[in-house]
Amino acid sequence: MNTTTRVGLLGVALALSACASSSFEGDKIDYKSAVKGSTLEVPPDLTQLARDSRYTTPDGVVSATAYQAGQDAKPTSPTAKTGAVSLGDVRIERDGNQRWLVVKRPTEALWDPVRTFWADSGFNLATENPDIGIMETDWAENRAKLPQDVIRQTIGKVFDSLYSTGERDKFRTRLERNANGDTEIYISHRGMVEVYSSERKDSTVWQPRPVDPELETEFLRRLMVKLGVSQEESKALASTPVQRPASARSVTLSGAPAIEMDEGFDRAWRRVGLSLDRTGFTVEDRDRSQGLYFVRYVDPGSTDKKEPGFFGKLFGSSSAATPPLKYRVQVRGESAKSTVMVLNATGAPDSSLNAARIIKVLADDLK
């Protein structure tokens, strides 16, 4: 199939998929038929975007979603409260547009059920790290978004691979034991969308699209069912309305960039952790007692590829390749306020340009 024909079919598929419903009821989520095996990743230094393959998307230590998608996923209601509803040993908590499960079971007892849940949902796992309680799916396509028109119903079984939603999704799950010995489960979404890269519409690239909190909630609800809650009860619990979390502001403390949050440590710790997941940082370890997330970050000015990546294009690039840098994101709480700072490898506040970029990524998502 030549390029013109292929892109033409892609255009038709993208146009038709735009009419697809965003509802998650019934069969509106179907990742089981997503193509598996071919990864959508580039090397984890995130130094280039897609070039030849239409299934290559940027991903790794720090994602472009932090700038594009993270800023668009904002809660909508005006006040700041947290809600929690429970059933048996499973309860769901919500803080604005962020939800998570709290399960009265040890983390090690939940790892296999959660792993099986993602497999049953049609995903391959790209990352599994029980030591820090993180698993991440590979990119997959929600085939339920494809239009069920006459043409597809007629020839879809033969030429189904020609149809595409032009979207891909991946999910990170984090299991963390809280101070009461219960397990908190967070699911964060990251999405990509395929767009034309030239006026002639003869080639495409993948770009980040906004985080979808409703999709995160739907998978949390389905996980509740996996853990023993009925379908009807899970829908009732997941839809319980609560209000927006307090705001977060970028500030400078002792000459270093920081974030100030109008909330106590527990809520700030949860929100920062979910923001790190959503915006694509690689969290290597965490120490809640010290309020520390240990993360890897790639300097956007470093590259060992021919074509610079998103951060390279945004901030400029150099020809010298450098390894990922390790930082600590520290959350400190005092009464009803918390601060977030970036520390260097020695544990001292970091005032570098990289620290400012990390703070900006998190602040944009936390607002």
For the ranges 15-19, 197-201, 314-318, 343-347, the lowest mean pLDDT is seen at: 15-19
Q: Which of 250, 188, 251 is nearest to 219 (CA)?
A: 188
**Residue 70, H or E segment:** helix 69-72
**Residue 170, H or E segment:** strand 167-177
Give me the amino acid identity at 322. T
Q: How confident is the model over 150-167, as pLDDT tens digits? A: 454 555 554 455 567 788
Which of 3.40.50.300, 3.30.530.50, 3.40.1080.10, 3.40.50.720 is the CATH number of 1-64+72-245? 3.30.530.50
Which of 3.30.310.170, 3.40.50.2000, 3.40.50.300, 3.40.50.720 is the CATH number of 246-367? 3.30.310.170
**Residue 45 pLDDT more than 60?**
no
Fold match, 1-64+72-245 / 246-367: no
Q: How confident is the model over 274-284, as pLDDT tens digits? A: 999 888 788 88
Segments making up each domain of the chain, as ranges: 1-64+72-245, 246-367
Confidence of residue 241 (pLDDT cuts 50, 70, 90): low
- Greater pLDDT, 258 or 54: 258
> Apex CA 211: angle with CA 209 and CA 144, to 5°?
75
Backbone CA torsion sign across 115, 165, 202, 6: positive
d(CA 288, CA 365): 21
Mean pLDDT of 20-24: 42
- Cα atoms found within 13 Å of the Cα of residue 39, Cβ hemisphere only: 12
Length of the chain counted residue by residue: 367
d(CA 174, CA 111): 10
Q: Which of 304, 311, 320, 310 is nearest to 356 (CA)?
A: 311
CB 214 within 8 A of CB 105: no
